[in-house]
Amino acid sequence: MRIYTGAPVPGAFDAVVMMEHCRDDGDVVVVGIRPVPGENIRAKGSDIARDAVLVAAGIRIEPRHIGLLAANGYTSVNVFKRPRVGVFSTGSELLPNGATGAARIHDANRPMLIALANRAGADVVDLGIVDDDLAETARFFRGIAGRFDLLISSGAASIGARDFVGQAFVEAGGTVHAWKVALKPGKPILLGTLDDRAYLGLPGNPLSAFVGFQLFGRRQISRLCGVDEPHGACGRAVAGFSLARESGRLEIIPARVVSWSKEGVPTIDIAENRSSGTLHALCQADGLAMIPAEQGSVRPGDVVEFVRFCSPR
């Protein structure tokens, strides 16, 4: 009996021989192999056991999950709404994107943080630039309170004479839960809530803002999406550099891979210019080297933690 791919197998038969192994001689079919029971037949339930979980709660839905759900007759599932995240910069010295002006600088952080939050799964709103003014910053916080699941700012988070974010946040009714982290770069990070919504205040130096988002912002967005993801997959790398440092703070340094061992372990090097005020070294890097707070100087050959970027540089 001729049968086609995907057709139900009649109950009286228990094997199917591929056409490539058969020859049609009119009223007779010559079978070139000896079939065994069950050959080329997919029994009902053989792919997934009864009551098996198809997609567990807390999984970010990807195309592979959609295919599996569709194969099992599901046309919709309950999901978390993408968290609404507002991003703004602070600083009277900042130029809006594309603008020009004397003695001012382009705003690098806001476009970068918007892109990072988008990639993390958020529905992002650009809230612009807030000048370094205490009353104006407090009014700004009051005006956006409760409108976003997470607010992210950069700048004015330290103790400078014009660093008003923390004070303005409190005056607007916000609660500071943590301020300052044993981290380099990115020490003056502020974590708070305003109208029962989360707030992340990042430093103004671009590399510090990037590192702070990677460690805290991405995790916050993941939790708001119903996922509990770590900051990244830490691997091992061999230091191809020397670094004199003081212990006490986790230090995160952009690093590039210079060679690979036969076992697949990279040797990494770091840029000479590690200023937190530039993103150039970060954009030449393949990932981030993480030096634990308790570790002192690094010497060539030492093993360090290394978080590779997902996308090629």
Residues 142 and 212 in one domain: yes
Please determine, for residue 58, whether its predicted confidence score (pLDDT) is greater than 90. no
- Is position 281 within any domain? yes
Is 50 a member of any domain? no
CA of 177: how far to CAs of 169, 190, 198, in Å?
A: 12, 8, 10
| Residue 159, domain member (yes or no) | yes
Whose tokens are 């602070």? That residue is 90
Report d(CA 10, CA 290) in Å as an integer: 62
Residue 160 pLDDT > 80, yes or no? no
Residue 280 is predicted with a pLDDT of: 93
Instruction: Inform me whether the pLDDT recorded for 105 exceeds 60.
Output: yes
pTM here is: 0.83
Give the pLDDT band (50/70/90) at residue 231.
Answer: low
Q: What 3-state DSSP class applies to 66?
A: helix
The CATH number of residue 129's host domain is 3.40.980.10
DSSP-H helix ranges across the chain = 63-71, 109-119, 134-144, 165-171, 206-212, 218-224, 280-283
Between 152 and 163, residue with greater pLDDT: 152
pLDDT recorded at residue 3: 93
275 and 208 Cβ atoms separated by less than 8 Å: no
> What element of type H or E holds 290?
strand 287-291
Give every CB contact of residue 250 below 8 A, 6+ residues apart in sequence: 182, 183, 184, 290, 291, 292, 293
Q: What are the tens digits of pLDDT across the range 113-154? A: 999 999 999 999 999 999 999 999 999 999 999 999 999 999
Confidence band, pLDDT 50/70/90 cuts, at residue 182: very high
Indicate if 170 and 302 belong to the same structural domain.
no
Q: How many structural domains are present in the chain?
A: 2
pLDDT at 157: 83
Average pLDDT over residues 100-120: 89
pLDDT of residue 232: 57
Name beta bridge partners: 175: 193
Query: Across residues 150-173, what is the average pLDDT?
Result: 89
Does residue 19 lie in a domain region? no
Q: Domain ends where: 191, 224, 257?
A: 224
Clarify whether residues 88 and 213 are in a common domain: yes
pLDDT on residue 312: 44
Cα distances (angstroms) measured from residue 284 to each of 148, 223, 256, 261, 293: 34, 30, 7, 21, 25
The residues pairing with 95 across neighbouring beta strands, listed in sequence order, are: 106
Residue 313: the pLDDT is 40
Farthest-apart Cα atoms in the chain, separation: 97
Give the residue from 164, 196, 224 where a domain finishes: 224
- Using CA atoms, how far residue 117 sits from 83, 181, 195, 220, in Å, is 10, 21, 21, 10
Q: Give the mean pLDDT of the chain.
A: 92
Q: What is the mean pLDDT of residues 164-170?
A: 94
| 23 within 8 A of 37, measured Cβ to Cβ | no
Q: Residue 87: helix, strand or coil by DSSP?
A: strand
CATH number of the domain encompassing residue 264: 2.40.340.10
91 and 153 inside one domain? yes
Range of the domain at 197: 84-224
**Cα dihedral value 96, 99, 100, 102, nearest 10:** -20
Rounded (5°) CA angle 239-242-247: 95
Q: Give the model's pLDDT for residue 311.
A: 52
| Together in a domain, 192 and 242 | no
Q: Are residues 212 and 266 in the same domain?
A: no
The domain boundary, picked from 170, 193, 224, lies at 224
Residues 107 and 168 in one domain: yes
Cα–Cα distance for residue pair 136/164, rounded to 1 Å? 10
